[in-house]
Structure 1
Amino acid sequence: MLPRMKGLLGKRELSTGEGLLIQPAPSIHTFFMRFPIDVVFLTKNGEVMKVAPHVGAWRMRSCRRAFAVLELAAGEAERRGITVGDRIDKAGAT
């Protein structure tokens, strides 16, 4: 539970290609964050339900029926072409 509560707090940046998968989580907040992130909401099967790009500090985002959230470096979702309906393989996530 503590890693989920901490999330990316305290980090100075999130490198390209790096991300944080939080599950279960239908919502996130960016309180005390030092950098913007892309937020990808996923179903239990890894289907993209919603993409919230460039979420800055002191914001909240949610997706009512989402099971998980993938936090990426700002701009990474667009760079990778992630859109609603895509499927993301969560098998290799730690």
Structure 2
Amino acid sequence: MKYVQVVNTKNNTVLADKVGVADTFLLRLKGLLGRKSLEAGEGLVLYPCSSIHCYGMKFAIDAIFLDENKKVLALYSWLEPGQTAKVPRAKYVLELGAGSACFDVEIGDILEF
């Protein structure tokens, strides 16, 4: 899996510097399953993706849904194991540790990775 850094272009804030890119069916299928946690600076970008689930996960996450231009469409904070989220127009979903995204990202921001 390749890794990228994710930056909010509005304020040049690094949201995470070790973000895996799940851009194949198998990588998206596995997602974060099997992980016990996400360390600070870690995350996962799913592409293409417009919905996620937290079934079988052991920890909460923040999910940022992006359009084809990586513009933030929706933010879900503290998605607990067993919950789902969907934004039909989304092309990317950035998953970060719970609480990571709520202060540095707003709807309409553009992310870069």
Give yes or no for TM over 0.5: yes
1:83 aligns with 2:106: yes
Matches within 5 A, 1:6-21: 6-21=30-45
Gapped runs of 5+ residues in structure 1?
none
1:13, distance to aligned residue in structure 2 (A): 0.4
1:15, distance to aligned residue in structure 2 (A): 1.1
Partner residue in 2 for 1:44: 68
Dislocated runs of 4+, deviation >4 Å: none
Amino acid at match of 2:88: R
Distance 2:108 2:56 in 1: 31
1:3, distance to aligned residue in structure 2 (A): 1.0
Partner residue in 1 for 2:93: 69
Distance 2:90 2:105 in 1: 16
Amino acid at match of 1:45: N
How many residue pairs get matched? 89
Higher relative contact order (CA 8 A, sep 6+): 1
Q: Percent of pairs identical after alignment?
A: 39
CA deviations over 1:30-55 (Å, ceiling 9, x no partner): 00000000000001111000000000
More strand by share: 2
Amino acid at match of 2:98: A
1:16, distance to aligned residue in structure 2 (A): 1.4
Amino acid at match of 2:43: G
More helix by share: 1
1:23 aligns with 2:47: yes
TM-score (norm 1): 0.91
Secondary structure, counterpart of 1:76 in structure 2: coil
TM-score (norm 2): 0.76
Distance 1:51 1:16 in 2: 19
